[in-house]
Each structure stands twice: as C-alpha cells, then as structure tokens.
Structure 1
Amino acid sequence: MQQQVLVDMDGVLADVYQQFINKEFELTGEYLDIKSMHGILESEAFPHFESIVRSEGFFRTVPQIPDSIEGLKYLNDKYKVLIVSSATEFPTSLKEKVDWLGEFYPFISWRQIILCGQKDSIKGDIMIDDHPKNLNFFDGKKIIFTQPHNVFHNEPEWQRIDGWKQIIDIL
C-alpha cells in the first residue's frame, strides 16, 4: 500500500514570509529583515499581521517556495499526497488556496486538498510542516520545513529540511 504524505501549504509550498515582507513594505515603505524574525511567530514578527492575513488576495498571490512545484510533483508520482492546511481561521483563504493550488500545482486534484481548523485528526505516514504544533501530535515520520519561526525547535524525532531538493533526496 502506498504511503500517505501530508504536505502543509503555508511555509512549505507557499512563501508566506516573503508575502508578508512584501505587504509590510507596501503599507509602510519599510523592508523587514527575515533574519530578525528567527524564533518569532509570524503574528509577532509582522506589525500588520492581522490586517494583511485577512486581506483579500493575500493567499491567492503568495509566491511559491523555490523548487516546490517539481518537488510536489515528484512526491505526487511516488506517494499518496494530501495537501493539508489549517485554513478555516481565515475564511477568505479557502477559495484563494484552492485556486492557488490549481494554478501552480494542477496535478493535485481537489480530492487531495484538506482545509481544516486543526491538523490533529488528519492521519498519514509522513508529515511535512513548518509548525512544531502540527508535528507534535503526529504519529508518523515528522519532517520540519525550516522557516524563521522554527529555527530553534529541534526535536530528536523530527528530520529538518531546508528546501524541496532535500525532500526529494530523502523521500
């Protein structure tokens, strides 16, 4: 039986940090340095987080993480892939996320997309996520995708990766 791989969207496929940096610059003219955000959640790192994340188009126009299209295609050809995103907190994100996936990852079927409130009831063999809170409950293989907010989280049972080329190498 084919292994099931759960892939997070924000911070794994979608470069939300770059999107926040771009939006903060549009609002304030100040370009925030990503290195100053190490160990800080996005909601604390970006002064206008709430208004930006709830704005129309935020999720629809987010850039892709480098090599994620090729990497996800590779996984999709080899495993049973589910895209799992904690999206219901931001209701405008639901359609935007589905449309964004359809544009950049057309090989992912709507049947492979799970938009939820929490990921603790979603089961699989491997989870790729950038938030420790999602990996903490997971019973399978845990892969943490490096983002500024998680650089100081190092759990022995997690495998840390810094990009999609590493995912292809290990899976």
Structure 2
Amino acid sequence: MLKKKTIAIDMDGVLADIEAQALNWYERDFHVKLTKADLQGKTEMDLFPEKGIIRDFVLTKGFFLTLPVMEGAVEAVKSLSEHFEIYVVSAAMEFPLSLNEKLEWLGIHFPFISWKNIIFCGDKSIINTDYMIDDHIKNLDHFKGKTIMFHAFHNGSVTHHDRANNWNEVIALLNQV
C-alpha cells in the first residue's frame, strides 16, 4: 500500500475565519462596522485605528474558541483526508491561552482529525510535510515542500506562491498533483 502524501494546514485564516472574528469583535466593542474588503492591502499593524486592539482580542478568553469556520473548510478537509494525511499546524505558542481553545475548537469542528495530527508550535520551519496551506508568507517562504497560499487581507500583493482564494480552489490545486 502506498503511503499517503502529507499536508500541513494552518488554522487561523485558513480553517478558522479570524478576519470575520476580528471584524465582529471590533464592531461589538467600537460600534464601527468594517468589511473584509476594508482590510485588503493593509498590514496587521494598520488594521484598526486603535493600536494593539487585535492583540487584545487574541489575548481574550473565548476569542479562539468562538472563531467561525472558514466557508467550505470542513467538507474540503474531509475530502482531502481520503487521499492525504492531514496535519493541522498552528504557531500557537505566542498566545498560550489559545492552546486549549484551539484544541477544543478543532474537536468541535474537525472531530475527524486525530489529536496525533495536531501540531502546536512556535516556528513552522520545522514542519516537513509534502504540502503546506497557510496564509502567512513567513511560513510558506521557508517551507521545503509545495506551498499553497490561502488568500488573506495581508497577502494580496504576494505572487510567488500558488494562491487559493477559497477551499474550492485548494481542492482544484491539489487535484492537479
């Protein structure tokens, strides 16, 4: 039997819609409604006039546990798991409160992913899978395998990785291999 190829899938911004969560919390706390389109082309530092507000959000209990699931993610990952060994890889160590919440979130939304296939780390350069799906260039640029950059407000101008704007495009890219 042939060994399945492996995929490392980022959590925030790929499986979990952290942009929607940040916008919802911002509207809740500041009564200003912004859209994802308002975020395009901005850096994380320039997202909102209130400096450090995103950091405050991610350091708040419940932020990661209540993240919305990215549209199409559950079905796509289930489909991919038929042909690939899936690993969820999150650089979660910067926000220690997130560890339990992320693990619980994955159990709720992706119960078919074994705890053995969940990797919380500080630096994704140690990951050695065949493919990586991530929204951050810092993780993709140093990855040795094939990369798929999941579209996010902060990577719109990057062109040196295969881009997927949604999970249907991820499936299409991986069907070509």
Q: What TM-score, normalized by structure 1, do the two folds share?
A: 0.95
2:157 matched to which residue of 1?
152
* 2:36 is the counterpart of 1:34: yes
The equivalent of 1:164 in structure 2 is 167
In structure 1, runs of 5+ residues without a counterpart are none
Structure 1 runs (4+) deviating above 4 angstroms are none
Distance 1:43-1:57 versus aligned 2 partners, 3 A rule: farther
Match of 2:105 in 1: 100
Is the aligned partner of 1:54 residue 2:59?
yes
Deviations 1:3-34 (A, max 9, x none): 11000000100000000000011110001232
User: Helix, strand or coil for the counterpart of 1:77?
Assistant: coil
Aligned pair count reads: 169
**Over residues 92-119 of structure 1, what are the superposed CA-to-partner deviations in whole Å (9 max), with x where a residue is unaligned?**
1000000000001110010000001110
How far residue 81 of structure 1 moved from its aligned partner, in angstroms, is 0.8
For residues 44 and 112 of structure 1, the distance between their equivalents in structure 2, rounded to whole angstroms, comes to: 34
Query: Where do 1:1-171 residues align within 5 Å?
Result: 1-46=3-48, 47=50, 48-155=53-160, 158-171=161-174
1:43–1:50: 8 Å Cα contact kept in structure 2? no
Unpaired runs of 5+ in structure 2? none
Task: Single out whichever of 105-114 and 32-41 deviates more from structure 2.
Answer: 32-41
* C-alpha deviation, 1:42, in angstroms: 2.8
Question: How far off is 1:43 after superposition?
Answer: 4.0
> How far did 1:169 drift?
1.9
Q: Aligned equivalents of 1:123 and 1:43: distance in 2?
A: 30
Contact 1:39/1:148 (<8 A) preserved: yes
Shift in Å, 1:51: 1.1
TM, length-normalised to structure 2: 0.92
RMSD: 1.1
Structure 1: how far apart are the matches of 2:61 and 2:146? 35
Deviates more, 1:34-43 or 1:114-123: 34-43
